[in-house]
């Protein structure tokens, strides 16, 4: 777990906390607790002071939802508009459901809600939140995971020269403990910087309108590599490809994919196209047209990051997907939050009722696997089984792992 990095003497990574609560003594308690833990902390009691104190290096915001003069929800929206990057802890004397709903709202605004603190809270609860925050702020050893600034011309060249490779992460059927599929995750093999992760370039490619081209590079690669990956008993594996939201704009997308699939002689049902819930919501009418035609052509469809879009439940029954993919944030919060457990359990039930198989991603522990098994989840993917692997490592894994027998 711990990376063995000391928690003191970190002048740069020192967390900066900003509190807004109309009850001044709540702010005082948080300030003194944070200071005793070596963290900088400012407390405010109204929106004007709060916004003044909201400098870019604030890493954690703790806010009361119910304040007489200021609407906590309104403030959340404002933070969303400012594209605030700080973690957010919601505090309230309301019951847990209100906090969960506000947290969900925060997420839909692109904010990262890190915890909830129900009032009145006990000191150990507060300390635990602050401690976790400090730990997560500890700089990561692999600098490449942090978004890096890359000039436009580098991006264009990368697409022109196809400097991208796919890493593959196994997907295992829980009931048989056998690998049944692989998700292809793109990596950029930068000539000088080495391996660059998608967080650093997907958004950039979108804004440069090159994301479509990346999509085709990835699909072609996936199709040409999939044939060599089989289980030791000869069973072929499916390959899941992340389709960008952009593909849901292109009414010719199904025909183009079908042509490639035919050309490479890959059975269409070995292909799973992953579409994120949020892009589905945005593009619903086009999406239904495109997705139905992909299904009619035999390809499988997976709804990725399920649960993060929160408006989807209603429309889901119209989407002809074969798989529902529970977002890893829910899987990882299963242990600590009742509501995450309920979301996971209900998503599994819902998926099954709609005739889809359900895959949980981001599974890191045996406990998570056991919970998912107990609730009849079909498939798992995550570090517990394997990290995403480059092709040679994947071949090794297929030759040796008990999951690939
Ligand atoms: P995603 O589709 O939700 O992919 C899952 C991400 O979770 C991957 O990050 C994977 O490495 C990571 N992951 C897998 N298992 C675990 C685990 O047990 N614990 C934790 N903490 N993380 C785990 P990655 O590879 O950095 O990809 C990030 C995102 O970039 C993907 O999220 C996907 O949205 C996007 N992406 C990746 N490849 C492509 C692509 O070919 N095309 C497009 N358009 N987007 C892609
Ligand atoms: Ca995915
Ligand atoms: Ca996902």
Q: Are residues 98 and 23 in the same domain?
A: yes
Locate 299 and state its tokens. Answer: 């390809």
Q: Are residues 127 and 243 in the same domain?
A: no
Q: Are residues 173 and 321 in the same domain?
A: yes
Q: Are residues 169 and 114 in the same domain?
A: no
Locate 138 and state its tokens. Answer: 């500890």
Structure confidence by residue, pLDDT tens digits, 144-197: 466 667 889 999 999 999 999 999 999 999 999 999 999 999 999 988 888 999
Residue 278 banded pLDDT, cuts 50, 70, 90: confident
Residue in the block written with tokens 């039930």: 349
Structure confidence by residue, pLDDT tens digits, 108-128: 788 888 788 888 888 888 998
Task: Count other C-beta atoms under 10 Å from residue 203's C-beta.
Answer: 12
Based on C-alpha coordinates, what's the Rg of the chain? 23
Atom 33 in ligand 1: which residue has the minimum CA distance? 242
Which residue among 143, 168, 202 closes a domain?
143
Q: Are residues 41 and 166 in the same domain?
A: no
Q: Specify if 1 maps to a domain.
A: no
Q: Are residues 66 and 24 in the same domain?
A: yes
Establish whether residue 198 lines the binding site of ligand 1, counting it when its CB lies within 6 angstroms of any ligand atom.
yes
pLDDT at 3 (0 to 100): 36
Which residue among 109, 143, 177 closes a domain?
143
Give residues whose Cβ lies within 5 Å of ion ligand 2: 242, 274, 304
pLDDT at 6 (0 to 100): 30
Checking if the pLDDT of 143 tops 70, the result is no
Distance (angstroms) between ligand 2 centre and the Cα of 315 equals 20
Q: Are residues 198 and 302 in the same domain?
A: yes
Q: Are residues 159 and 281 in the same domain?
A: yes
Distance (angstroms) between ligand 2 centre and the Cα of 242 equals 5
pTM of the predicted model, to two decimals? 0.69
The full DSSP string for 106-156 is: HHHTT-EEEEEEESSPPHHHHHHHHHHHHHHHSPPS-GGGS-----HHHHH
The full DSSP string for 55-93 is: -TT--EEEEESB-SSSBHHHHHHHHHHTT--SEEEEEES
Average pLDDT, the chain: 87
Distance (angstroms) between ligand 2 centre and the Cα of 305 equals 7
pLDDT at 313 (0 to 100): 66
Checking if the pLDDT of 137 tops 70, the result is no
Q: What is the CATH number of the domain that holds 78?
A: 3.40.50.2300
Cα separation of 189 and 166, whole Å?
Answer: 10
Number of domains forming the structure of the chain: 2
Q: Which residues contact 220 (CB under 8 A, 6 or more apart)?
A: 260
Checking if the pLDDT of 142 tops 60, the result is no
Q: Specify if 307 maps to a domain.
A: yes
Domain of 225, in residue numbers: 152-404
- Report the sign of the C-alpha dihedral through residues 181, 183, 188, 194, in that order: negative
Checking if the pLDDT of 405 tops 90, the result is yes
Q: Are residues 127 and 227 in the same domain?
A: no
Which residue among 143, 167, 197 closes a domain?
143
Q: Are residues 350 and 311 in the same domain?
A: yes
Checking if the pLDDT of 352 tops 90, the result is yes
Structure confidence by residue, pLDDT tens digits, 87-115: 999 988 877 777 777 787 788 788 888 78
Q: What is the CATH number of the domain that holds 378?
A: 3.20.20.450
Q: Are residues 247 and 389 in the same domain?
A: yes
Residue 368 banded pLDDT, cuts 50, 70, 90: very high
Q: Are residues 115 and 163 in the same domain?
A: no
């Amino acid at each position: 777990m711990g990376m063995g990095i000391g928690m003191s003497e970190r002048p740069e990574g020192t967390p900066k906390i900003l509190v807004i609560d109309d009850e001044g003594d709540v702010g005082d308690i948080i300030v003194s607790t944070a200071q005793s833990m070596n963290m900088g902390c400012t407390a405010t009691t109204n929106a004007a002071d709060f916004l003044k104190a909201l400098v870019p290096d604030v890493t954690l915001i703790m806010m009361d939802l119910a304040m007489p003069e200021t609407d906590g929800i309104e403030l959340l929206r404002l933070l969303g508009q400012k594209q605030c990057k700080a973690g957010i802890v919601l505090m309230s004397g309301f019951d847990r459901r209100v906090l969960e709903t506000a947290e969900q709202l925060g997420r839909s605004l692109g904010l990262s809600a890190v915890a909830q603190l129900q009032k009145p809270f006990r000191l150990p609860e507060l300390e635990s939140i602050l401690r976790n925050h400090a730990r997560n702020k500890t700089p990561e050893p692999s600098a490449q995971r942090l978004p890096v600034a890359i000039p436009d011309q580098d991006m264009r060249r990368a697409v022109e020269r196809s400097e991208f490779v796919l890493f593959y992460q196994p997907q295992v059927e829980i009931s048989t403990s056998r690998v049944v599929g692989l998700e292809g995750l793109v990596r950029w093999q930068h000539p000088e910087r080495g391996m660059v992760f998608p967080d650093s370039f997907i958004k950039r490619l979108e804004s440069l309108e090159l994301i479509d081209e990346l999509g085709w590079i990835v699909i072609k690669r996936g199709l040409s590599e999939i044939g060599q990956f089989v289980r030791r008993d000869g069973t072929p594996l499916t390959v899941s490809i992340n389709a960008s939201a952009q593909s849901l704009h292109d009414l010719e997308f199904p025909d183009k994919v079908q042509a490639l699939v035919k050309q490479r002689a890959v059975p269409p049902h070995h292909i799973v196209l992953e579409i994120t819930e949020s892009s589905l919501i945005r593009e619903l009418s086009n999406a239904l047209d495109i997705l139905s035609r992909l299904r009619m052509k035999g390809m499988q469809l997976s709804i990725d990051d399920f649960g993060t879009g929160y408006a989807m439940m209603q429309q889901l029954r119209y989407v002809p997907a074969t798989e529902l993919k529970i977002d890893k944030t829910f899987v990882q919060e299963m242990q600590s939050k009742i509501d995450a457990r309920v979301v996971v359990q209900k998503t599994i039930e819902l998926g099954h009722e709609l005739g889809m198989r359900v895959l949980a991603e981001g599974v890191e522990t045996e406990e998570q696997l056991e919970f998912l098994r107990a609730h009849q989840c079909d498939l798992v993917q995550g570090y517990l089984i394997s990290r995403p692997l480059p092709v040679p490592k994947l071949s090794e894994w297929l030759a040796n792992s008990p999951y690939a027998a």
